[in-house]
Structure 1
Amino acid sequence: MSNEEDPVSADITVTSVEVSELTEEEQRDRLHLERRVERAVFEAGKALAELRDRRLYRSTHRTFEEYCRDRFGHSRRQSYLLMDASVVFDNLVEICDQIDHKLPTAEGQVRPMTKLEPQEQQEVWLKAVELGVDLAKLSPSAN
């Protein structure tokens, strides 16, 4: 070992910082902003579905898939996964907002549920949240 100090026996100074509690207004603001973040990826899926359904790409592209690739860098699969996930998310919002449960924040979290009936989606999500299970890790097609 060189003449430098042994890092294992080095002294470390830690400064504590007092963190004040959030006011009620700050708590409301945080919850509102957290909900916006949770919904962001799913809002993208809803927007893609509307672009596709209304064929709003038709002035520049022959197909929706070409449009998504050129405009957003999405593969066909990625665009459709986002659209499917937004349907599941909307279904989960119905039950989760009523009981203040955690909502998904990523497409992969709801991917395993896209083939389930709405009631089953809600049951699976509530159970996963209760157990702390990350559904994205269970999906065989997860990225």
Structure 2
Amino acid sequence: MTTNCCQNSEVEDLTTNGTQILPTSEGQVRPMTNLEPQKQWEVWQTAVEVAGGKVPSGRVVKDVIERIMERTKAPNPYCVGEVCQILVKDNPELRGKGGCWCIISHVSEFSCTVKMWDGEYTVRIDHLKSLNYLPAECEQMRVICDRIHRLRDSGNLEAPVEAVLECLGELKRPYLTEFEEELLSFIEAKCSLRV
């Protein structure tokens, strides 16, 4: 970082004259490791500005990188009703949901609102991968999702029922087997008796 800053400044020795803010820990520069050296310097300068002329935190640097990436990304390729797979990457809200299916319910410029077996989430488009289902298969998944949501909204579910619903939320295919259909129907019947 010092080398890059020195190359981009007219000042001879930035480390002693205090005209350049440099990182003080590895965590501040970790988000920039995949960037080209010139881009690293530009991101750092922007992060310093955002931090009010002080040494920025790693989170500030990461936010600057995400804003730059969002400006250069292609338009959102997803559409409402499409079934996708969740890619967790660096999103802590999605932990435990990697590989699970979801249905796009709203499309924004750089993110989508998705409906999963346990609720709705807003995720960036790089956290989604289309499963390329046919329209009829997408409709089947929507019906399954609606059935699971009705059960979850019906009240207190016992732990085994929650486990079955979570398992159905992780299916890697657009249909229920005969046994899964019977199991879901059984749970629906039992829950409707309690209401």
TM-score, structure 1 normalization = 0.30
TM-score, structure 2 normalization = 0.24
Structure with the higher strand share, 1 or 2 = 2
Structure with the higher helix share, 1 or 2 = 1
